[in-house]
Amino acid sequence: MSDAAAPRPGEPTIGERHTPLREQVLDALRSRIINGVYAPGQRLTEERLAEDFGVSRNPVREALRVVQAEGFVLELPRRGVIVASPDPTSMRDLFAVRRRLETLAARQAAERAGPVDIVGLRDLLDGARRGTEVQDFDLVAELNSALHRRIIDIGGNRWLGTLSVSLYRHVEWVFRLGVVDRAPHSWTEHVRLVEAIASGDPEAAEQAAAEHVDAAAAAALPDASAPSPSHDVPGARAPLSPLPDRPA
């Protein structure tokens, strides 16, 4: 296995878990794209991935079909399969849906959170702060995603939980591409969000969530206005565009 494709510390070896091999390969491939082990624009071949994961080409082929359907890879003429880059149109759509989901999740969490819930959220904030200070941005990204999932769990809306699974894979992917600049700003916004939930004020929590998503959208898409709650979500994709050199 090449150094560039080496698993992160703690990443389970393919075959260790009691789940179908095709699911393990899919999880590992998706994770390495989101984490940046396989970077945007990088060409992926069945042979290379089979070697990386120590498996045959069949489960790799199945995994590539799934991540292509999810938008993580593209198949291009004469180039084959490459890792995709989040583009402006897909990011606008992502932030529009995310805004709807997170404002509702924050409102419901503020209505239902108990003392133990707030302690758990603040623990996640503390971990993200320490990760930012030592520039462990893998940890920051993981804890940020965990914070949002926990807010959804506190709200008790199982449909939000189900709908958020695919969404947050892409949210984390976009965040990781700009994590170095974005992390301190994201932490400050998360503090405001958690304190609004702790206060039991649904309106304040909803507003804090909206401001957090709008700030992330404005930084990731500096030439576009932040998504509004009434934003339609078309399925079109635009040409690729690099992320800005400022908080994302």
**CATH superfamily for domain 88-220:** GntR ligand-binding domain-like (1.20.120.530)
14-83: CATH class: mainly alpha
In angstroms, rounded to a whole number, what is the distance separating the alpha carbons of residues 19 and 203?
Answer: 42
Beta bridge partners of 81: 44, 75
pTM of the shown model = 0.79
CATH 1.10.10.10 domain range(s) in the chain: 14-83
CATH 1.20.120.530 domain range(s) in the chain: 88-220
C-beta of residue 239 within 8 angstroms of C-beta of residue 87? yes
- Secondary element (H or E) of residue 43: strand 43-44
The model's pLDDT over 27-71, given as tens digits with 9 standing for 90+, comes to 999 999 999 999 999 999 999 999 999 999 999 999 999 999 999
The model's pLDDT over 209-241, given as tens digits with 9 standing for 90+, comes to 999 999 999 888 876 544 444 333 333 333 333
- Angle, helices 179-198 vs 115-133, to 10°: value is 160
CA distances from 173 to 13, 31, 160, 170, 206 (A): 22, 9, 20, 5, 24
